[in-house]
Amino acid sequence: MLIGVDLLWVRHGINGGTESVIRNLLKAFGEIGEEEFLLFVSGDNADSFRAFGEYKNIRLHVCDTDSAIPVRRVLWQNMHEDELAFKCGVDLMFSPIYSLPRFKKGRIPYVAVIHDMQALHYPEYFGKIRNMFFRYSWKKTCRDASRVITISDYCKDEIEKFYPAVKGRITRIYDPVDIDFRGSTRDHDGAPVYGREFEETIGKVLEKYGLSRGGYDYCVSSLLPHKNLDTLLKMKAEFRGDNTPLVISGVGGHDEEFGERIRQLDIDELVLRTGFVSDEERNALYAGCRLFLFPSVFEGFGMPPVEALAFGKRVVMTKEACLREITADKAVYVDDPYDPADWAEKTGHAVTLKEKVVSFPQYDPHVIASSYLRIFRNV
């Protein structure tokens, strides 16, 4: 079976967690090697996917469009993608996001993923046209896709509530979480023991950012309001007895407003923003932190706290939306996500706990990829 994969939407380094998910999944598809995959990439993101062509079962097809120009990309996808897939002999199209072509010949079945319905909760993030596009795309996907995948029970319940026509054709498959420990193990108490190569990487990354081992708290997040980073800033401002700096990695959101907020609270010396970091740097920052903090109040899955727990970090976070489901009660949870005092109390408790690696075999990329392959074959 030849499976086409729509990757035209990927803007490397901009799509955040959604891009990480598809890359983890493609790597697992290549390692399993049980089906053939044809990746439909754009002119400006093709290079970022070249390495997947080294797998014997994965090929690339560069399409005449660019991911950085959304209007052009959407028009091209709607007018040409299905026909191109048919000409290439594709048996099934996999769309890792919610957007299906408007013009289909009806010959090829589509499997699509709806990661979350953020625009329903936060329409203010998007203009009127984009909000209309999201709702149109979700409805069309739930109506026309042969199978819809979503990434948590929370999301599945929500999608079925708003688009009941999808019932019976929607499946929950968790996101694949791929962590490279570089030969790391754990001791008899479950604490992380990192390999020599990774320890060297940790040292280099901490030196780059002027950080010390265990001397900072870490957060991986965009700067959008629902990520609730303002509460962490208030905690740092109001409880200065704990002057541990907060390091934030991620892109997207209101960068200037966030910087101004830091200045208003007079905590410039306590907040370090790294912007986008490579997986290698992110993993080193996970491993070197004192605590991992995740204040978000809305997620479809929430990969960062899972990654931090897998690194043996003590995690303090909210239990909103899917987050307690995804972290399986393995973190320390605040009761009020907007209360700086609650955060201060829970972080104070968390530092008294021992670091312990938490395993999540249900998120192993090979397990997740196998679940997708079963769906593809059934469709």
pLDDT in tens, 235-292: 999 998 889 999 999 877 788 899 999 999 999 999 999 998 988 999 999 999 999 9
**How far is 75 from 71, CA to CA, in rounded Å?**
6
pLDDT in tens, 48-59: 999 999 999 999
Mean pLDDT of the residues in the chain:
93
Comparing CA positions, the residue from 132, 71, 80, 86 lying closest to residue 103 is 80
Burial class (CB in 10 A: 0-12, 13-18, 19+), 196: exposed
Yes or no: say if 348 and 291 are a contact pair by the CB < 8 Å rule.
Answer: no
**How far is 207 from 202, CA to CA, in rounded Å?**
8
pTM above 0.85, yes or no: yes
Question: What pLDDT is recorded for position 184?
Answer: 59
Of the chain, the percentage scoring pLDDT greater than 90 comes to 81
The amino acid occupying position 94 is F
Angle, in degrees to the nearest 10, between helices 303-310 and 17-32: 60
Comparing CA positions, the residue from 145, 95, 102, 138 lying closest to residue 117 is 138
Q: Which two tokens stand for residue 173?
A: 């498959």
Question: What pLDDT is recorded for position 364?
Answer: 94
pLDDT greater than 70 at residue 180 = no
Out of 28-42, 128-142, 175-189, pick the least confident. Answer: 175-189
The mean per-residue pLDDT over the stretch 48-74 comes to 94
Of the chain, the percentage scoring pLDDT greater than 70 comes to 97
Q: Which two tokens stand for residue 151?
A: 């990434």
pLDDT in tens, 155-167: 999 999 999 999 9
Question: What pLDDT is recorded for position 192?
Answer: 83
The mean per-residue pLDDT over the stretch 28-46 comes to 96
Question: What pLDDT is recorded for position 182?
Answer: 52
**How many CA atoms lie less than 13 Å away from 101 in the CB half-sphere?**
24
Confidence bin at 16 (pLDDT 50/70/90): low
Of the chain, the end-to-end C-alpha distance in Å amounts to: 11
N residues, the chain: 379
What domains sit in the chain, N to C, each tagged with a CATH number?
2-176+364-378 (3.40.50.2000), 185-362 (3.40.50.2000)
Out of 26-30, 181-185, 304-308, 349-353, pick the least confident. Answer: 181-185
Highest mean pLDDT among 100-104, 119-123, 371-375: 371-375
Question: What pLDDT is recorded for position 150?
Answer: 97
pLDDT in tens, 216-239: 999 999 999 999 999 999 999 999
Question: What pLDDT is recorded for position 209?
Answer: 97
Yes or no: say if 195 and 182 are a contact pair by the CB < 8 Å rule.
Answer: yes
pLDDT greater than 60 at residue 183 = no
Three-state secondary structure of the chain: CEEEEECCCCCCCCCCHHHHHHHHHHHHHHHHCCCEEEEEEECCCHHHHHHHHHCCCEEEEEECCCCCCHHHHHHHHHHHHHHHHHHCCCCEEEECCCCCCCCCCCCCCEEEECCCCHHHHCHHHCCHHHHHHHHHHHHHHHHHCCEEEECCHHHHHHHHHHCHHHCCCEEECCCCCCCCCCCCEECCCCCEECCHHHHHHHHHHHHHHCCCCCCCEEEECCECHHHCHHHHHHHHHHCCCCCCCEEEECCCECHHHHHHHHHHCCCHHHEEEEECCCHHHHHHHHHHCCEEEECCCCCCCCHHHHHHHHCCCEEEECCCCCHHHHHCCCCEECCCCCCHHHHHHHHHHHCCCCCCCCCCHHHCHHHHHHHHHHHHHHC
The mean per-residue pLDDT over the stretch 70-92 comes to 93
